[in-house]
Chain A
Amino acid sequence: MSASPLQLPEQQQQLLDRSRRLAWLSIALLSSASIFMAFTLGQSQAMKTAWISDVLSIVPPAVLLVAMRFERRPADRRFPFGYARAISVSFLVTASVLTLFGLTLLIDAAMKLLTGERPPIGTLVIAGHQIWAGWPMIAALAYSLGCGLLIGKLKEPVARALHDKALAAEAQMNRDEWMSEGAAIVGLLLVAYGMWWGDAGSAAFISIMIIKDGWSSVKEVIADLMDEAPTTLGHLGLDELPVKVAAAAEQLPWVARAQARLREHGRMITGQVLVVPRSDEDLTARLARATRDLTNIDWRLHGLVVVAVADLEPF
C-alpha cells in the first residue's frame, strides 16, 4: 500500500474543490433557511419536524468538510492504510443520527395523533400588521424548499462525476427536502381549514422520510465497512471495475489466471489482484509493472497490490 497522500487527476481535483465550495454553500443556505424557520416556529409539530429535518441536513456537508481534511493525510504508523475511510466513518455517524432523530419524531407525531393533541397557532405582529402565524411559517417553509432544490441540483452532477456516495446521498437528501417542506405546508393549510390532524399527520410523514433517508444510508455505509465490492452510484448493482481489472491482468502474457478483490476505500477503490504466474522468471519486476499498469485503468484505483499466488480459489 502506498504511503503517499491520495493523488487525484486534475479534473477530479477540480471537482473535489467544487464539492467543497458546494458544502460551504449548503451550510450557508440551509442555515439561513433554518434561522428563518426558527423565527416562525410555533407549536406546530409539522413545522418543528420540518425544521429539525432542515437543521439535520446541515450536518452532512459540515461533516464532509471535516472528513475532507482527514482523508488526504498520508498513511502513518498508526493508520498504515491511510485515512481515506474518514468519509465512511462520517457517513455512518450522520446516517445513524438521522435514523434515530426520525424515529423520535415519528413517535412524537404518532402520540399527538393518537391522543388528539391539537396545534394552537396564534398571531404574529409583523411591521404593524397582525397576521395568523401560519402564513409566515408557510413562507419560511417555501424558502427552505427552494434552497434544498437548488443545492440538490448543483450537487448531483458533481457527485456523479466524483463517484462520491456521501455527496450523492446528500444531493438526494436535499432534493427530498422538498417533500418534507411540501408536506409541512399541506399540513399547515389543513390546520388553517380547521383540520387539526393535518399537522401531526404531515409531521409523521416527514419523520418517515427522515427515517427512510437515514436507514438507506446506514445500509450502504455498513456494506462499505464490510468490504463490499464497489457498487455503482445510487444503485445496488456491482461496478464493472473488478472484472475489468482481472481481465486486464489475464491479458498479460506471463499471467495464467487472475482475480481482483477490490473494495471501496472512501471515495477511492483499493484491493488486491491475485495472479497465477506461468513462471517465476523476472517475477518481481513483472509484478511492479503490472501494479503500475493496472492502477492506470481507473482514476479511483489507488494502493493496489498485485500478489503472485500458486492457485486461485474462485468466489
Chain B
Amino acid sequence: MRRVLLFCCLLAACDLPRDPDDTLKHVQNATMRVGIVNAEPWTIDVGSGSAPSGVEPSLVQAIAQELGATVEWVRKPEHELMRDLHDRKIHLVIGGFTDVLPWKQEVAFTRPYFTDRDRHVLAAPPGENAWLVAVERAIERHKGEITMPNGETARR
C-alpha cells in the first residue's frame, strides 16, 4: 500500500493531470471568472454594485487568493452560466448546487465542500482536470474554516 502511494505521489509530482485547455495556468495570477446564481443562504448576491457574500462566495475568494487570482463575478440565468461553463468561457459556477442535479451530465461537479442532507458542490468546466484537482484541493484545505449560516461548522 505504501509503495502504491509512493508511486502515485511520484506520478502526481510530474504535474499530472493536465488541462486540455490550460485553464489552471490561465487563472493563476490572473482573473478567475465565476458565475453566480442567487441561492440563499449558500450565495447572497444583491447585484453588480457590491460583492456577493455567503459560504460559497467566501470559498471562491479563498481559492482565488491561493492562486493569486482576482474574482470577476458573472451574473446570468443559471442555464446560460452552465452553457458558458460547459464551453469553458467561465471557470466556476456557484449557486447552492448539490451533486444530484442533472447538470452533472454537462459540467463537472467538485467534491462536496459541505454535507448535510445533501452534498453541496461547486460546478467546474468538464475535462479541465488540472483545474478541477486544484479547486478540489483548495476546497479540502478550506472546508474546515467554513461557518454555515446556522453557525454549524462544515465537516464531512
Contact check, A196 vs B20: say whether CB atoms are below 8 A apart. Answer: yes
Count of chain B residues with a beta carbon within 8 Å of a chain A beta carbon? 27
Complex CA–CA separation, A118 to B136 (angstroms): 18
- What is the distance, in angstroms, from B85's C-beta to the closest C-beta of chain A? 11
Contact check, A132 vs B140: say whether CB atoms are below 8 A apart. Answer: no
Contact check, B8 vs A122: say whether CB atoms are below 8 A apart. Answer: no
Contact with A along B13-49 (1 / 0, CB 8 A): 0001111100000000000000000000000000000
Whether, in the assembled complex, B51 has its beta carbon less than 8 Å from a beta carbon of chain A, the answer is no
Contact with B along A122-150 (1 / 0, CB 8 A): 11010101111011000100000000000
Complex CA–CA separation, A195 to B128 (angstroms): 10
Whether, in the assembled complex, A194 has its beta carbon less than 8 Å from a beta carbon of chain B, the answer is yes
A132 touches which one: B110, B128, B133 (CB < 8 A)? B133
The chain B residue with its CB closest to the CB of A131 is: B8
Assuming the A-B contacts A118-B20, A122-B110, A195-B20, are A129 and B5 also in contact, with contact meaning beta carbons closer than 8 angstroms in the complex?
Answer: yes
Contact check, A191 vs B129: say whether CB atoms are below 8 A apart. Answer: yes
- What is the distance, in angstroms, from B134's C-beta to the closest C-beta of chain A? 10
The chain A residue with its CB closest to the CB of B106 is: A117
The chain B residue with its CB closest to the CB of A134 is: B17
Among A122, A194, A195, find the residue whose CB has the most chain B CB atoms closer than 10 A.
A122
Contact check, A120 vs B18: say whether CB atoms are below 8 A apart. Answer: no
Complex CA–CA separation, A118 to B21 (angstroms): 11
Complex CA–CA separation, A191 to B11 (angstroms): 14
Give residues of chain A (139-195) contacting chain B, Cβ–Cβ below 8 Å: 139, 191-195
Whether, in the assembled complex, B4 has its beta carbon less than 8 Å from a beta carbon of chain A, the answer is yes
Whether, in the assembled complex, B12 has its beta carbon less than 8 Å from a beta carbon of chain A, the answer is yes
- What is the distance, in angstroms, from B25's C-beta to the closest C-beta of chain A? 11
Complex CA–CA separation, A195 to B130 (angstroms): 12
Chain A: number of interface residues, binned into ranges:
20 to 34
- What is the distance, in angstroms, from B107's C-beta to the closest C-beta of chain A? 8
Contact check, B5 vs A132: say whether CB atoms are below 8 A apart. Answer: no
Complex CA–CA separation, A192 to B1 (angstroms): 22
Complex CA–CA separation, A192 to B132 (angstroms): 12
Among B5, B8, B140, find the residue whose CB has the most chain A CB atoms closer than 10 A.
B8
Whether, in the assembled complex, B76 has its beta carbon less than 8 Å from a beta carbon of chain A, the answer is no
Which residues of A lie under 8 Å from residue B17 when comparing CB positions? Answer: 121, 132, 134, 191-194
B111 touches which one: A43, A122, A131, A139 (CB < 8 A)? A122
Q: What are the 8 A-B residue pairs with the smallest beta carbon separation, nearest first?
A: A118-B127, A120-B108, A194-B18, A192-B17, A192-B16, A123-B136, A120-B126, A196-B127
Residues of B within 8 A of A (CB): 1, 4-5, 8-9, 11-12, 16-20, 107-108, 110-111, 124, 126-130, 132-133, 136-137, 140
Pairs A–B under 8 Å by Cβ, sample size 20: A118-B127, A120-B124, A120-B126, A120-B127, A120-B132, A122-B108, A122-B111, A122-B136, A123-B111, A125-B111, A125-B140, A127-B1, A129-B9, A130-B140, A131-B9, A132-B129, A135-B11, A191-B129, A193-B17, A194-B20
Residues of A within 8 A of B (CB): 43, 117-123, 125, 127, 129-132, 134-135, 139, 191-196
